[in-house]
Amino acid sequence: MGDLRKDYSIDRFVITSPENHAIADSKKCPYCPGNESMTNPSTLSLVAKDGMLQRLQDTEDNYVQNWSVRVFESKNPIVTTTSENSYSDRPLYSEPAYGYHYVVVASEKHKDSLATISTEQWSNVLVVIQDRLRWLYTQRGVTYVSIYVDHGKEAGGSTTHAHLNVVTFSTIPPVIEQEAEAAHKILNEKGICPMCQTVSTETGGPRQILQTEGFIAFCPWAPSHPYEFWIYPKKHITSFSKITQKEINDLSLILRATLGGLANTMKNLSYNMVFHLSPEKKNNRQIHWHIEVYPQADPWSGLERGYGVFLNKVTPEKAAEELGSACRKELANLVGIV
């Protein structure tokens, strides 16, 4: 097991995981059907049969066939539930990097991407993520569940087969803490959720990319990456695990349209996508949940790395204009298909 280390003075965490490594080079993709033995057994395999979705799982001597979404514990986890390391105090604070690391394979087809799978498939993926999220929050030592995508080499991707990572932590990540703290401060001072105010401000504005019945995608006013965009529920919702099937279908539509539009705007682009969710266990660290997408169009300079000051060569208004055009075309095609 690796260490979760904290900076000498500021709230910055680093996981040192010397045994973690990328998927070994192989002519076989471990995430493709027929290669299930290359991963850990699935804890959930979603199989479509006779118009119904079956939730199955692998056994020691049998792998589920004809799956459309597959979930299993990572063979190269960045956190584990086997506690070997000890705690140490400041200035050299560390604790065991305790937690669960699951991989959600989003399609059985190797050539599929999150920008090309169907909205129905996206809905299946989100339902599976909800399932894992609920189960993980019942486990001891789980304080926060993170969900993220590393697509492409520049974004830290280890394989091209479409998948998401679900990683738990024994503490709330600093960024979520900061968001919650800022939200509560503004809520107490002005009586309004700052992100509800943001959604209202950005709706129909120059940074809006796309909106559906229940969600809006927009480029933020002060983005850290060129062409960065966020997806927010229009109404104030703090719990992703409790959204309805209708809301899941709506979210699937805007995810597919925006990622498809991004892929058409910038070919072969690497990006990260992260879910900013409230902790599901009772506490006051609740936020207006949302998704953030960070295209890796330009490398960071010393300003970003050394000072946390971001240099952006593309205005969010210009990015929204380009992305909006491409995403609206994607949405029109998807609605036409549906």
Catalytic residues: 163
- Burial of 11-31, coded b for 16+ CB within 10 Å and e otherwise, reads eeeeeebeebeebeeeeebbb
